[in-house]
Amino acid sequence: MSETYTLNDVKRALAQASQMLSSQKDTINKLNVFPVPDGDTGTNMSLTIESVVRSVSELSENTSREEFAKAVVQGALMGARGNSGVITSQILRGLCEGALRAEHFNTEGLSVAFARSQEVAFQAVRKPVEGTILTVIRDVASAARTAQKKKLSTNDALEFIVNEAFASVHRTPELLSVLKENNVVDAGGYGLALFIDAFVSALLGRGAAHQDEVLFAQNTAPKVEIEHIEDWEGSEFRYCTEFLVHSETVDVEAAREFLPTMGDCDLMVGAHPNFKVHVHTNRPDKVLAWYLDHDAQISEVHVHNMDLQSAKRNEELSEEAHNEPATPFGFVAVASGAGNANILKSLGVNVVVSGGQTMNPSTKELLDAIARVNANNVIVLPNNSNIILAAQAACDMAEIPCALVPTTSVPQAFSALFAFDEATSLEDNVHAMTEVLDQVSTGEITTAIKDSRDAHGNPLSAGDIIGIVNGDIEAVGTDITDVCLRMLDTMQADSFDSLTLLAGADFTDDALSALEAAIEEHYDDLEIESHRGDQPLYPVVFSLE
């Protein structure tokens, strides 16, 4: 396998990588949790790379490295669409600038090129966000440095970089909560990893890219459960506005100070005389006027109404999901905490509505969730006594057969789902699932927010750790472990077979391990199973069965 590559080899690899990215753009789009024009990450990235391919295809076979790099940068800048496309253009610009600094296309050259790529990409974004394409390019640059330190061959370094790109993508949900809540990886980061992999595959002649990663994304991508959030930050603005600026004299710093005053998700990249501008704003006319007033020419103006685009996208996704054959049964559950939501989904829940003790969803929210389930029958699990009435009202108003199982906690929902039998009727399932609720005893630990009294009339103070057993305050103290043990004693834990612990958002893994050890010391025969529930305000929720 050759380790000497020409500009023609690079041109061919770019073309093949572009084809790969275009073929996977729909998969990348579906991964995205941002249903706005900028959310079409796969489309925007593929269009950006296609523009690069067109630009370099016009070069002669004897072109210089400098001319080739200029064509890549120009093509990427002119073709960039959306935040993902603009950031991709800057990643490519950095790679080209770094490659020109390096003497050879080798492991050392890769390290220099990716280091510059990371630098340029981060400079382009005013508020870099972890768990995005920026994280992936940073990790790839780190991998390139590691490859140089290990003195890997060029080909081995390229493979090492590809593997780290996908590993970084898999880590994005741990860095960006909205990804974890929607059970997806970052779309932009995944698109970048696919592009790098396809480019390396073509360069090394190793055939198809990592198809297992493609399948991973396809299996992960959500159908309809897409949260309305912008791509770099929550946007309050309606129009996604982007255009090219042509000027030898425009004050770049003044322009970059102006753009945030008009909206958010603002980017201005490039160099005199050509720039790309992107901003979310309510007044695209004023944005364009500013550049015209500063002796700049503008072209390739694109203004998208994100409200209309979002509504259309959600409608199309909903239609797509409902075009699939309906399942016999579906589930809607209420829960707070990404961990609890993931567990419920793993047990078969189709839609998890965010809510709980401090946030009770409305009847309409529950009714909308029922409508999103593509099933002939739907069972609703409210998981809180304060939500039962709203959930029952939603079931009564639903257009499809819908029934309530009156769960008052997430652990009860776990047991109810285990009792479900697809082979029986809706009525029989509701009866069986409701029947097991009495076998689950639930405990919750939280902090008192005001002075009060426990179930036995004893006073307690704001800030005390309190243990709630089936709705009554049965233990008060200053230590979570101590309160939990006293609750278990009150609940006669030694008469049960199993204990399920759900750790809250602020309860660390070390604290959870210590709590498990303390419980095991007191209850030898109790089978303990612990999970990250990540619920707010309640460091520990547990159930005995």
Q: For residues 205 and 226, give the distance between their C-alpha atoms in angstroms, rounded to a whole number.
A: 38
Place of tokens 């002939």: 376
Q: Where are the beta strands (DSSP E) in 92-233?
A: none
Residue 310 confidence class, pLDDT cut points 50, 70, 90: low
- For residue 126, the model assigns a pLDDT of 79
pLDDT digits (tens, 9 = 90+) for 55-110: 999 898 889 999 999 999 999 988 888 778 889 999 999 999 999 998 788 999 99
Task: State how far the Cα of 440 lies from the Cα of 383, in Å rounded to an integer.
Answer: 13
Per residue in 447-475, pLDDT (tens digit) is: 988 888 888 889 989 899 999 997 789 99
Q: Smallest Cα–Cα separation from 80: which of 124, 136, 144?
A: 124
* Domain 441-544 fold: Hypothetical Protein Tm841; Chain: A;domain 3 (3.30.1180)
Position 118 scores a pLDDT of: 95
Interval 399-414: pLDDT, tens: 999 999 999 999 999 9
Fold of 7-220: 1.25.40
What is the arithmetic mean of pLDDT over 249-259?
A: 93
CA 294 – CA 349 distance, rounded (Å): 56
The whole-number average pLDDT for the span 179-203 is: 86
Q: How many percent of the chain have pLDDT more than 70?
A: 89
Confidence of residue 309 (pLDDT cuts 50, 70, 90): low
Domain 239-308 part of CATH 3.30.70: yes
CA-CA distance, 92 to 154, in Å (whole number)? 19
pLDDT (average), residues 300-315: 75
Higher pLDDT, 131 or 433: 433
Nearest to 539 by CA among 469, 408, 445, 410: 445
Task: State both tokens at 31.
Answer: 């991964």
The shares of helix, strand and coil residues in the chain, as percent rounded to the nearest 5, are 55, 20, 30
Q: What span, in angstroms and rounded, lies between the C-alpha atoms of 188 and 185? A: 9
pLDDT of residue 222: 39
Higher pLDDT, 12 or 323: 12
Predicted pLDDT of residue 267? 87
Per residue in 211-245, pLDDT tens?
445 444 544 443 323 233 333 334 578 888 989 99
Length of the chain: 545
Closest by Cα among 290, 294, 242 to 270:
242
Asked whether 88 and 73 are in contact (CB, 8 A), the reply is: no
Overall CATH class of domain 325-439: alpha beta
pLDDT in tens, 130-174: 888 999 999 999 999 999 999 999 999 999 999 999 989 888 888
* Residue ranges per structural domain of the chain: 7-220, 239-308, 325-439, 441-544
Q: Cα–Cα distance between 273 and 109 in angstroms, integer? A: 29
Amino acid 218: pLDDT: 45
* CA 308 to each of CA 223, 228, 239, 412, 511: distance values in angstroms, whole numbers, following the listed order: 20, 13, 10, 40, 47
CA distance 26 to 527: 45
Q: What is the pLDDT of residue 86?
A: 87
Quote the percentage of the chain above a pLDDT of 90: 57
| pLDDT for 129 | 84
Q: How confident is the model at residue 42 (pLDDT cuts 50, 70, 90)?
A: confident
Average pLDDT, rounded, for the chain: 86
